[in-house]
Structure 1
Amino acid sequence: MGVCVAKQATARDGQSPENGRKATLSDQLTISLDRAKQMSFNAASTHARYHNGRKLEEDYEVNFKKVLGEGCSGLVVMAKGRHDGRKYALKRIHKLKVQAKVLKQLTAEVEIYLMLDHPHIAALRDVYENDSEIALLTECCEGGELYSRLSSSGTYAEPDAAEATNQMLLAVGYLHAHHVVHRDLKLENFLYETTEANSCLKLIDFGFAKIWDPSTLMMASCGSIAYVSPDVLKGEGYTSKCDLWSLGVIVFMLLVGYPPFHGSEKDMRTNILAASVDWSHKSRWRKVSEDAVDFVKCLLTREPSQRMDVAEALSHRWIKARNTKGRRPSLDKECLRSLRHYADTSRVRRAVLQLLAQELAPEETKDLRDMFLSLDSTGEGTISLSELKQAIRGEEEPVSEASGNSPKSPKTPAARLRRAKSEVIGSLFEVLDANGDEQVYYSDFLAATMDVRKQIRQEAVLSAFNRLDADGSGSISAEDLRKVIGETFEGVNVELLVREADAACKGELTFQDFLGLLEATDASVSPKARQRAGIQPSFYLQPHVVP
């Protein structure tokens, strides 16, 4: 994590002490689940990932010898899920060992992190809080830092640099579209998901992130000096454009292998304030295209008003040139069938699918992740109604709203959805829009399309069940659901959800009931008919061997 490089936050930035009074833990220094849920893409998912009173050791085996990194609150170590066998990064915050101001900042980080949901942001798996500590479990990105990969290669080939830049822009675009400014973008805070050459990048470390009201200016001078923008250093207030400057520094280094500002801290401050970039290594820059140079210059611009924002950066010819396909995004028939079924299924099954979406490993979601990103035409990290409609229609001719379907009535669910009226697609969108903010988020999309997956690990299913079985009794009751997802889901009380799925009227759901919910891939086909037809369940398959 970076450090504050100038003055501390002021009252204008919302981080000053309260009238000099010494704050207590009970005042403001613990996580507000209600606040996190209000900001969240999905209140039920946020509720399910926050645990107050439950012990971390019940769900994870911690390996203190496997150190992954170090932050201001201590070491980041490896943890292994007891139910799913997957590796996670564990950061622990000892409340009594940090200053009140730092703890307030750290708890704000957790609340922001709980609201985030994007393929290029490392997923927050679980948060545990008790009187003495807060523990964060995030996905373990084993491909290492962007910094390390650049150090090994010296520079990036331009196509690779453009691809990495596009992924970083998508992460930042999502944050900015949802009023979050990262304020500490640097090579070390982007990790590769795996060690593969084409692995995707993920943004981490939200210790300086802030929910920002664009009608005000931020004042706290946060970040790492080599990446800090001149508007931050001036101390007169700044906007989200500070993140774009930091990205410019990163791209500069990817292209030529040296930083635009270097030397002593005093020299760096002077050069950054003047936007005096070191272009002196002519031999290195001769190998870089004019478009790439222009892209960097449009980010390393001293005046924020003249600096590109994310949308402009994504539209820059250097980034646009990486995609020469020019194809209109479209959902295939399997995804269309899955979307239609998700909209028609019970609310309790949708709740289960949303939790199961959180259990999927990267290799299980790659195709759906790529499809989701292709549908997001704005770079804001979500899908709008118009984007969904366009993707559903695909290459089909526009539907006449007056006459309805075409003369040749489509016979398959996918074909019917492609030719459906706008109000039908609008109703489908309302179901996908879990929090009612007219956006479909990544996890919403995964939950609605995972029927297209041919295999999902048995461990993922067991982990989802164990998450819902809050008291560990071996079955899911209404009280379990209340503890895990809150009082309601989609406006329906949790007792009604259990009744909806409890065919035997036992008052709770066994693991077999849970499997029944997941295997109901087509409610119009009875289990016996499915068995006669040789249709296999799509969710509960062979155990996955975890190394």
Structure 2
Amino acid sequence: MPDCTMMNKNGMVSKIQTRIRTDHFKSNYDLVGKELGRGKFAVVKKCVEKVTGKEHAAKFLRKRRKGEDCRMDIINEIAVLESAKANPFVVSLHEVYETATEIILVLECAAGGEIFNQCVADSDDAFTEKDVIRLARQILAGVAWLHHKNVVHLDLKPQNILLTSSHPLGDIRIVDFGLSRRTDNVKEVREILGTPEYVAPEILNYEPLSTATDMWSIGVLTYVMLTGESPFLGDNKQETFLNVSQVNVDYSQEVFQGVSSLAIDFIKSLLVKNPRHRATAEDCLKHPWLNNSHSHTHTGHAHPRLLPSMDEPETSQSESDPESESPAPSPELVIVASYTLCPGQGEMKAGRGGAFPFEEPLIQQEVIC
């Protein structure tokens, strides 16, 4: 656990234990196959360690972005991965290399890819509610562990949850700690960061970040996994942010066909505007939905096109455009790269009239109180 001398005032850890290698990466690894993902400042490629023959994912991160030195952001990401070494649901860090222009993280290769792929899949390949219960338990166990260590992820979404295998459905690995912050030894951190459909209201209101900020994102993530739809997605970012700030969520029977009432109750415990009233990761792990034998026997596909059930209508949203404006209470938002292990490729299937494209996260200057 880093102490306060190793962490700067905005919750980013500035020292790491991992030795950064400066010898040639390709002397020790062979790159194989196609790219696993690409962002504005990061590329992820599968690689094979020459000595062991073991497959890994190599994440090449540019140190300079938009004219600014971002090496310390990468160091923070490494530090978080180090602190989560004992967490079975966080992707493991194997080695780190540095060149004049890049830092390369050699990570565990999660062969099943993103859960995003199943969220947008056709009926036969979509998650069942039973699948979602098992994966949600793992996500919550991983996040509870991080929160116990005072780490907030701040970009939990389907593109940042990988699977060890897709057929059969494997275990989850949480990835992309490029936006994470530590909350110990810091009075308050206020930042505009995250991915539009997943950001919590307190981020848009420029209020302090906390572990509750992640819990909102888990509520959105669970909604997406069960329905294949994004609850707050608007025609543009402005509308998306308005939906988030007003907590406009559609819990109608049309959206939640075939999904149990306990699942909806679980989501409602997280999509609460006041972060103090939001369920914690530990609360969620005790929720009846994750511990109810009836829920466990529910084997139908969760996507709304398949099974009957559920009620409680409210509102609906549709397609998102790549604009970069914030709601009135916040300063202008700046798009930055997603450092995901495998960024989402393509679009999410239309739920209520629109596609669900992969969104890059947002970031804004910190204000420390």
Q: Which residue in the other structure is 2:10 paired with?
A: 13
Q: Which residue in the other structure is 1:276 paired with?
A: 248
Distance in 2 (CA, whole Å) between partners of 1:72 and 1:242 is 25
Q: Which residue in the other structure is 1:182 paired with?
A: 153
Q: Which residue in the other structure is 1:36 paired with?
A: 16
In 2, are the aligned partners of 1:13 and 1:220 still within 8 Å (CA)? Answer: no
In 2, are the aligned partners of 1:12 and 1:219 still within 8 Å (CA)? Answer: no
Q: Which residue in the other structure is 2:351 paired with?
A: none
Query: Which of the numbers 1, 20, 25 marks the counterpart of 1:56?
Result: 25
Q: Which residue in the other structure is 2:317 paired with?
A: none
For residue 145 of structure 2, what is the amino acid of its counterpart? Y
| 1:142 is the counterpart of 2:111 | yes
Distance in 2 (CA, whole Å) between partners of 1:295 and 1:160 is 15
C-alpha deviations, 1:249-297, integer Å up to 9, x for none? 01111222211111221111111111121224x2342422121111000
For residue 60 of structure 1, what is the amino acid of its counterpart? Y
Distance in 2 (CA, whole Å) between partners of 1:119 and 1:169 is 12
Query: Which of the numbers 105, 108, 121 marks the counterpart of 2:90?
Result: 121
Q: Which residue in the other structure is 1:532 paired with?
A: none
Offset at 1:195?
A: 2.7
Offset at 1:53?
A: 2.9
Q: Which residue in the other structure is 2:5 paired with?
A: none
| 1:94 is the counterpart of 2:62 | yes
TM-align CA RMSD: 2.4
Residue 132 and residue 269 in structure 1: after superposition, are their counterparts in 2 closer, same or farther (change >3 A)? Answer: closer
For residue 68 of structure 1, what is the amino acid of its counterpart? L
Map 1:153-172 onto structure 2 (within 5 A): 153-154=122-123, 155-172=126-143
Q: Name the SS for the 1:184 alignment partner.
A: coil
Offset at 1:167?
A: 0.9
| 1:173 is the counterpart of 2:144 | yes
For residue 277 of structure 1, what is the amino acid of its counterpart? V
C-alpha deviations, 1:169-193, integer Å up to 9, x for none? 1111111111111000000101111
Offset at 1:12?
A: 6.0
In 1, are the aligned partners of 2:163 and 2:169 still within 8 Å (CA)? Answer: no
Offset at 1:234?
A: 0.6
Q: How many residues align?
A: 285
Offset at 1:322?
A: 5.9
Q: Percent identity?
A: 27
Offset at 1:243?
A: 0.5
Comparing 146-155 with 165-174, which one deviates more in the overlay? 146-155
C-alpha deviations, 1:322-359, integer Å up to 9, x for none? 6999xxxxxxxxxxxxxxxxxxxxxxxxxxxxxxxxxx
Q: Which residue in the other structure is 1:209 paired with?
A: 180
For residue 250 of structure 2, what is the amino acid of its counterpart? D
Q: Which residue in the other structure is 1:321 paired with?
A: 292
In 1, are the aligned partners of 2:11 and 2:186 still within 8 Å (CA)? Answer: no
Map 1:278-293 onto structure 2 (within 5 A): 278-280=250-252, 282-293=253-264
| 1:66 is the counterpart of 2:34 | yes
Q: Name the SS for the 1:13 alignment partner.
A: coil
Distance in 1 (CA, whole Å) between partners of 2:74 and 2:189 is 18
Map 1:329-348 onto structure 2 (within 5 A): none
**Which 5+ residue runs of structure 1 have no aligned equivalent?**
1-10, 16-30, 38-46, 326-547
Residue 293 and residue 59 in structure 1: after superposition, are their counterparts in 2 closer, same or farther (change >3 A)? Answer: same
Which one has the bigger helix percentage? 1
Distance in 2 (CA, whole Å) between partners of 1:104 and 1:98 is 15
Higher relative contact order (CA 8 A, sep 6+): 2
C-alpha deviations, 1:45-104, integer Å up to 9, x for none? xx4xx23333322321123x5200013423211111101111111112233566435332
TM-score (norm 2): 0.71
In 2, are the aligned partners of 1:185 and 1:246 still within 8 Å (CA)? Answer: yes
C-alpha deviations, 1:469-516, integer Å up to 9, x for none? xxxxxxxxxxxxxxxxxxxxxxxxxxxxxxxxxxxxxxxxxxxxxxxx
For residue 176 of structure 1, what is the amino acid of its counterpart? H
Q: Name the SS for the 1:83 alignment partner.
A: coil
In 1, are the aligned partners of 2:247 and 2:273 still within 8 Å (CA)? Answer: yes
For residue 34 of structure 2, what is the amino acid of its counterpart? K
Q: Name the SS for the 2:35 alignment partner.
A: strand
Residue 234 and residue 159 in structure 1: after superposition, are their counterparts in 2 closer, same or farther (change >3 A)? Answer: same
Q: Which residue in the other structure is 1:422 paired with?
A: none
Distance in 2 (CA, whole Å) between partners of 1:251 and 1:77 is 28
Which one has the bigger strand percentage? 2
Q: Name the SS for the 1:259 alignment partner.
A: coil
Distance in 2 (CA, whole Å) between partners of 1:246 and 1:322 is 26
For residue 270 of structure 1, what is the amino acid of its counterpart? L
| 1:307 is the counterpart of 2:307 | no
Map 1:82-481 onto structure 2 (within 5 A): 82-96=50-64, 99-100=67-68, 102-117=70-85, 118-154=87-123, 155-213=126-184, 216-263=187-234, 264-280=236-252, 282-321=253-292
C-alpha deviations, 1:289-320, integer Å up to 9, x for none? 12111100001111111100010000101112
Offset at 1:157?
A: 1.9
Distance in 2 (CA, whole Å) between partners of 1:209 and 1:322 is 35
Distance in 2 (CA, whole Å) between partners of 1:92 and 1:322 is 44
Q: Which residue in the other structure is 1:407 paired with?
A: none
In 2, are the aligned partners of 1:142 and 1:194 still within 8 Å (CA)? Answer: yes
For residue 71 of structure 2, what is the amino acid of its counterpart? L
Distance in 2 (CA, whole Å) between partners of 1:200 and 1:14 is 29
In 1, are the aligned partners of 2:219 and 2:267 still within 8 Å (CA)? Answer: yes
C-alpha deviations, 1:93-138, integer Å up to 9, x for none? 2335664353322221122222222211111111112444311111
